[in-house]
Structure 1
Amino acid sequence: MSLADRFREHVTEHRNGMIHDLMFAVAWVGLVSILFDFVFTEAPTWVFYMFLLAGIPAYFGFFFSLELAKQE
Structure 2
Amino acid sequence: MTDANDTDYANDSEPDETVADRLRRHVSENRGGMLYDLAFAVVWVTTVSLLYDFLFSNSPRWVLYMFMLAGIPAYFGFFISLEMARKQG
Bin of the TM-score, shorter chain as denominator length: over 0.9
Instruction: Quote the residue 1:18 is aligned against.
Output: 34
Give runs of ≥4 in structure 1 deviating > 2 Å. none
Aligned length: 72
- If asked which structure has higher relative contact order (CA below 8 Å, sep 6+), I would say 1
Query: What is the rounded CA distance, in whole Å, between the counterparts of 1:54 and 1:38 in structure 2?
Result: 19
Q: CA deviation at 1:12?
A: 0.1
Map 1:1-72 → 2, pairs under 5 A: 1-72=17-88
Residue segments in structure 1 that go unaligned for 5+ positions in a row = none
Structure 1 residue 59 displacement after superposition: 0.1
Structure 2 stretches lacking a partner, 5+ long: 1-16
Deviation, structure 1 residue 55: 0.1
Deviations 1:16-67 (A, max 9, x none): 0000000000000000001011100111001100100100000000000000
* Residues in 2 aligned to 1:38 and 1:5: alpha-carbon distance in whole angstroms: 45
**Greater share of residues in helix:** 1
Instruction: Give the alignment's Cα RMSD to 1 decimal.
Output: 0.4
Please report the TM-score for the alignment, with normalisation by the length of structure 2. Answer: 0.80
